[in-house]
Chains A and B, each alone.
Chain A
Amino acid sequence: MPADPVRAAHECAAPWPYKQLDVPALRAAGHPPKPFRELILKVHQRCNLACSYCYVYEMADQSWQDRPLTMSDEIRDAALSRFADHARRHNLAKVRIVLHGGEPLLYGTDRITELVAVARRSFDPQTQVRFGMQTNGALLTEQVVAALVKHGIATGVSLDGAPADNDRHRRTRDGRGSFAAVARGLRLLCRPENRSAYAGLLCTVDPSTDPIACYEQLLGFDPPAIDLLLPHANWQTPPMRLDTTATPYADWLIAVFEHWYEGGAPVRIRLFDDTISLVLGGPSHSEQIGLSPSGLVIVESDGAIEQVDALKSAYAGACATGLHVQHHSFDDALDHPGIVARQIGMAALADECLVCPAVEVCGGGHYAHRYRPGTGFRAPSVHCDDLLVFTRHVYERVADDLGASIGSSK
């Protein structure tokens, strides 16, 4: 067993990649590291909501309990300085800094303002720095939204569709639904003077809900973009299933896809855009689907450099790298097996995926959804059946459309 306790925990829970991935051999075989282009700062560890499926608080990893409530100024400055060094070293033209939590708005608008100012001072002028935030939206007030607009912070808001559906999962600690408060915030973001701060809506799919009612509700808030997220789950903690169908998530997604496609795609839906891009031979920009390399890294409120926090759904410590912004560079993180595993495309896939006809489109699904105890992350997605049905539907729909149009244009 290695002396490093972080590494030992990983090797025990996830033999792949931690015991089996030979990083030097991969580098020698022509898999260079891809620099990080997105830094996620966990500026606040707590949340004003208590959503039933939250991977931060409700799943395997409970490390939030041991971390400082908010990110100190020293950690903030170290993280931004490290990221600016990384951008300089790799000559990056564009980077993004995303504020996340917990609920990032609990960090306070004054501190957010200061963070943006420090970040802008840290980077060389040739690197364009964009800012984002993922919030539950319940704390968006006129004053807060004005600050987001002023500082150019593109804000994604989580909302799970119709009021009753949203409020079943997204509730306050005392059990009240969050829809009304979020709707107030979204109406502020919708105002013409605030739209530059409105990035979009993020909705976790619940297959027991009415897909069209959900889509129409989201569309009613006039978002620039929507994404539909399969719930975080893995082979140890599988997703909710329905008795009525073998592929409830695919059925739900296909219903929305058809409605959206037939309606002329009035809003960008990232999962759909990415799936269409993949069937047309293009890349994906999302973690959910495809084989694009991951270019993101997290800094927790205590300064720990971590992998994407959706992995918290797998096992305690699944995000850890053992690195810290005050002692390590982001380049150090690029050779961590968990980071490498997200940048090597097909080489990270299970044998079942490698012989799957959908592999170039599906890409094995979200890395966190592949976790299988005893194996690690080299397994098909626990959403495999749904991914196969959904991606096949999109493939055939686009093939028909393209074929018909080409035929008609002759």
Chain B
Amino acid sequence: MNVESTPTESWAPLADLSQEPLNFQVSRGSGIVEQALSRVLHSLHDKDGVISSFTSFISEA
């Protein structure tokens, strides 16, 4: 996982999980960031990911 801590000209993603398997153990950042990384990992493996209309619905990922 690559991490960059300072925003550059163009804001590079703060993590790269694109090569990680679905069972990769995310253990970085605060609880919130750790959960978010775990969701990102699932989303990257979800080829069906599209936006949905009603914004009070939260994706199950």
A396 contacts the other chain (Cβ, under 8 Å)? yes
Q: Tell me, rounded to whole Å, the shortest Cβ–Cβ distance linking B12 to chain A.
A: 8
Complex contact B58–A395 (CB within 8 A): no
Contact residues of A between 354 and 410, Cβ < 8 Å to B: 357-361, 392, 395-396, 398-403, 405-406, 409
Given contacts A134-B54, A282-B40, contact A398 B11 (CB under 8 A): no
Complex Cα spacing A195 to B7, Å: 41
Complex contact B39–A402 (CB within 8 A): no
Q: Which residues of B have CB within 8 Å of A308? A: 53
Complex Cα spacing A403 to B44, Å: 23
Complex Cα spacing A98 to B54, Å: 8
Contact residues of A between 236 and 252, Cβ < 8 Å to B: none
Complex contact A405–B32 (CB within 8 A): no
Complex contact B57–A200 (CB within 8 A): yes
- Nearest opposing residue in chain B for A263, CB measure: B32
Complex contact B15–A280 (CB within 8 A): yes
- Nearest opposing residue in chain B for A297, CB measure: B53
Complex contact B50–A295 (CB within 8 A): yes
Complex Cα spacing A199 to B41, Å: 23
* Residue from A94, A357, A392 whose CB has the most chain B CB atoms within 10 Å: A357
Given contacts A132-B57, A287-B51, A405-B29, contact A273 B6 (CB under 8 A): no
B10 contacts the other chain (Cβ, under 8 Å)? yes
Total A-B Cβ pairs within 8 A: 177
Q: Which residues of B have CB within 8 Å of A402? A: 3, 5, 14-15, 28-29, 33
- Nearest opposing residue in chain B for A100, CB measure: B54
Complex Cα spacing A308 to B54, Å: 10
- Nearest opposing residue in chain B for A229, CB measure: B55
Q: Which residues of B have CB within 8 Å of A37? A: 48, 50, 52
Given contacts A286-B51, A296-B53, contact A400 B58 (CB under 8 A): no
- Nearest opposing residue in chain B for A39, CB measure: B53
A93 contacts the other chain (Cβ, under 8 Å)? yes
Q: Give A residues with C-beta under 8 Å from B.
A: 34, 37-38, 40, 92-94, 96, 98, 100, 132, 134, 154, 156-158, 199-202, 223-227, 229, 261, 264-265, 268, 270-271, 273, 276-277, 279-288, 290, 292-296, 308, 357-361, 392, 395-396, 398-403, 405-406, 409
The 4 lowest CB-CB distance pairs between A and B, nearest first, are A295-B50, A281-B13, A282-B40, A156-B56
